[in-house]
Chains A and B, each alone.
Chain A
């Protein structure tokens, strides 16, 4: 008994030793800064002055006085409402296409995945050209079809929709890969049984595929909401929050507050509000998942 417990102690020690680089890294570079930002969010901390405790003033200012905070929250929510369904449905459709047993399918999969490994800045620059009202291919095609040609990023009404459409570019990315792995895990026997019962394509999709991959949908949904609340690169590279604040997204505003205005306390409060929003949305999704997610195990 004594020998066994010594072995267990040794094993535990070794385990912690092996995990220690991660544990130390987590404490120093994640947990520490996270807790520090919580403290800082209750301070007036203007680089490089010493933080001064001001209680809830930052939060009060954000909710009661800061117009740009509300605008950025609205813009981000608007973006999320459209981007999340687009990203989930688009990626699922793409994954289903990539799940076909075709010749050379691995080449297609690689090609479709390429946008995910392309630099966000490069993609943003590419889309600036595509969306160009005078010379962009999108307006060219719209013109040929006799449809109105919006000014896209130059028009405050169209700037957000333009960035939402741009998200189509990423439907072959990580979300699709996760869906693809889920689709490949659906037992073939279920489809065969459905076929014997006379199920058509839609029935199989609705009553076999969707329930079987529902945990994957939940995972992708949560990740998509988190990611869309963190939209930054497009605003940073393509619009700088304009025109007229129409693409001033939450994280871009936070970046401005922190690094242009040097108000780290205020930026920390913004970060914590974002965390709370995303946390609440995630909890809601998890709570609701009981109604529609099917765990086969």
Chain B
């Protein structure tokens, strides 16, 4: 028995000794990211992390790749349990939620004098801002622009070199391009938002084309119930009713080949790099017929704007070495790494200087999207309850799109929901020392 105990003791001591030898010397930096392809994971593990560890030999980076489907639950649980990693990714409308959670630190002090800030696209850089503070650093854009099929334009008598520049022209083109046979949509003349989520998202964009805003900068006043809001929703309702006529079957499920790539959508004002990648993957011969347009504006107005997703990296209050964490983020968003990451993921870099890189110039879409769409991303509004407010308001918009409610009443009801909630929104929590 004694011998056995001695053996156990020896085993425990050796395990502890091994642990301290193997890992004790390095401090761990933890990172959570979502929706990474296996290629991206490989690159991060084999190239990005070694780059960082070379610069900071006392640190090691442990990355947890979280599937997108479970990310929100995971972040929510970690926020509540205060078990967030040092650095983590969050989505486009998350700044308010993060800022008011008390679990992230603002990064102003590290970026105030960072010369490279100017190299970020302004629309991207603004995404993680909330109530005057910078809460994270954007690391990719997923911008959208107008894509269309030149041959389909020709087929209906439209000039293939003259895509629509205004949303009103887009609507007129849509009517010509739409193809319905036996009560079935064979070709969607133009993509249009359908359902409460997309309708509200595009409302956020279209109101900006008319020079309007959802809320005031300090998030105290609802501004979308004015003339611009009515115009924006009226346009979306008209567009919806043009391409999704009642009683007509919509396009069949877009599998195995996505709609746009199979030319089942003639024109798409919310087309991402994904659409181009899909064309190259599923219908490469058709690439020559693909036309690139620019983000739309409203007739009589000058602002070109389209929807643009931007994700950022945040540093949690749990992070013991935020100075090092910020260095990791800076390395991650350095032009070369940023381009590599975006290339692997199908996104667009947030750094303007990336345009001069060879890989960007050689890419069939990256440079195009950076130039055509990068600067025109919509201004993001991110109150902490954004998702609740979007759904509650979006439902009225959907009713309007189906003709069950007037535009005016949909706007009024939606504004009422936002007006009731905004004063109750939690304020940003700034940890001491920041």
Contact = CB atoms under 8 A, between A and B. Distances in A.
B101 A132 contact: no
B90 interface: no
B395 interface: yes
Interface stretch (B34-42, B152-160, B283-291, B398-406): B398-406
A134 B398 contact: no
Contact of A46 (B73, B184, B426): B426
B76 A259 contact: yes
A47 B252 contact: no
Interface of A: 46-49, 68, 128-129, 132-135, 151, 154, 156, 240, 242-245, 256-257, 259-263
Contacts of A46: 384-385, 426
A46 B386 CA distance: 13
B388 A263 contact: yes
A242 B247 contact: no
Contact of B391 (A133, A134, A260): A260
A18 B250 CA distance: 59
A262 B195 contact: no
Closest A-B pairs by Cβ, 5 of them: A48-B79, A133-B249, A261-B388, A134-B184, A260-B387
B402 A244 contact: yes
B253 A128 contact: yes
B72 interface: yes
Interface of B: 72-73, 76, 79-80, 82, 97, 100-103, 184-185, 195-197, 247, 249-253, 384-385, 387-388, 391-392, 395, 398-399, 402, 404, 426
A82 B196 CA distance: 27
A154 B249 contact: yes
B184 A133 contact: yes
B103 A48 contact: yes
A296 B10 CA distance: 66
A135 B250 CA distance: 11
Nearest to A44: B424
A49 B101 contact: yes
A260 B395 CA distance: 15
A240 B394 CA distance: 13
B102 A48 contact: yes
Contact of A134 (B76, B80, B252, B385): B252
A156 B244 CA distance: 14
B73 A47 contact: no
Contacts of A134: 184-185, 249, 251-252
Given A151-B247, A244-B404, A260 B72 contact: yes
Given A151-B247, A245-B395, A261 B196 contact: no
